[in-house]
A and B are shown apart, each in its own frame.
Chain A
Amino acid sequence: MKGDFITTSFNHVLGWARKYSLFHYPYVTACCGMEYMSAACAHFDLDRFGAGWTRFSPRQSDLLLVVGTITQKLAPVLHTVYEQMTDPKWVIAFGTCAVSGGIYDNYAVVQGIDKIIPVDMYIPGCPPRPETVLDGLVKLQKNIQHQKQDWRWKK
């Protein structure tokens, strides 16, 4: 046969395409937002890993970054935001508060966002260093590559 070509599985290609085109929606509520900005901007640069495109609308994004403390008052809002995102979608719990409630074990704070929505990757730290964030992102991308892709158009 003439020309160059490769053979691969469709699942593999879809995973590769999806992991490098993550549009993320930063749901920033607390001080972790500073660390998110640092990780997203030029010094550390999420964009190097194909996840730099921040969409400020959940309807256009694939990756929900829950950055900071989620209070009981905010819980329905976070749930609505998650519901608004189109499939396929992933969630990162960014920082100890989003992971487990952190130091705020009190009447006001939800003890981890996994009590409200499913979470794909937990990034610990108070706040996490940008390197930790990048590590979490790369690990999530690895998971996306290897997960069974749902082909929604295939009946």
Chain B
Amino acid sequence: MEKIKKDLQQKFPEKIRKMYSDYGDDVLVIQKDALMDILQYLKKSPYDYTMLLDLTCVDYMREEPRFEMVYHLLSLSNRHRLRIKTRLPEKDLSIQSLTPIWKNANWLEREVFDMFGIQFKNHPDLRRIFMYDGFEGFPLRKDYPLRKRQPRIPLKE
């Protein structure tokens, strides 16, 4: 862990904001613009984070920047997990898509787009994955009304 930290700080100065351990996992907080470079670097040897386990988003409403993207990486050869976080301001909800690096990012990013409205640049097919056509808004955002329903067919009382 210390090795990665030193190496990354040397390789990407100013782009690493924080690095700490939380509940047994190592967490790396980075700048948004360096996402592709850092992840591409981590995927290669010797770190070998070949697997993107999960990719999700958290809405910290009333904080600035408001949204936080979370990436979970796994290195099978080093038997190590790494969590990478980066913040997005509400004004600019775009971030680079990871589909060129990991194919499974495709559907995971579609889910995040569906639920939070994050725009992924260079995504091959960015459209809703869970909610139906005609659904308005992004239901996992904290400002989505709790009781708001959008039925597809008229419902009886």
Contact = CB atoms under 8 A, between A and B. Distances in A.
A76 B153 contact: yes
Given A106-B139, A107-B150, A115-B157, 6 more contacts: A73-B132, A75-B153, A79-B153, A107-B148, A115-B156, A116-B155
Interface core residue of B139, B153, B156, B157 (most chain A CB under 10 Å): B153
A32 interface: no
Given A107-B139, A107-B144, A108-B139, A72 B156 contact: no
B131 A73 contact: yes
Contacts of A114: 156
Interface of A: 72-73, 75-76, 79, 106-108, 110, 114-116
A72 B132 contact: yes
Contacts of B157: 115
A73 B131 CA distance: 7
Contacts, number: 34
B6 interface: no
The 4 closest A-B pairs by CB, nearest first: A115-B155, A107-B139, A73-B132, A76-B153
Contact of B149 (A76, A107, A116): A107
Contacts of B124: none
A98 B99 CA distance: 38
B151 A72 contact: yes
> B interface, how many residues as a size bin?
10 to 19
Contacts of B152: 72-73, 75-76
Interface core residue of A72, A79, A115 (most chain B CB under 10 Å): A72
Contacts of B132: 72-73
Contacts of B156: 114-116
19 contacts: A72-B132, A72-B149, A72-B151, A73-B130, A75-B152, A75-B153, A76-B152, A107-B139, A107-B144, A107-B148, A107-B149, A107-B150, A108-B130, A108-B131, A108-B139, A110-B155, A115-B155, A115-B157, A116-B155
A107 B139 CA distance: 7
Contacts of B155: 75, 110, 115-116
A61 B149 CA distance: 32
A107 B153 CA distance: 14
B22 to A, nearest CB: 29
Contacts of A72: 132, 149-152
B135 to A, nearest CB: 8
B153 A116 contact: yes
Interface string B73-87: 000000000000000
B94 to A, nearest CB: 25
Nearest to A79: B153
A99 to B, nearest CB: 15
Nearest to A73: B132
Contacts of B131: 73, 108
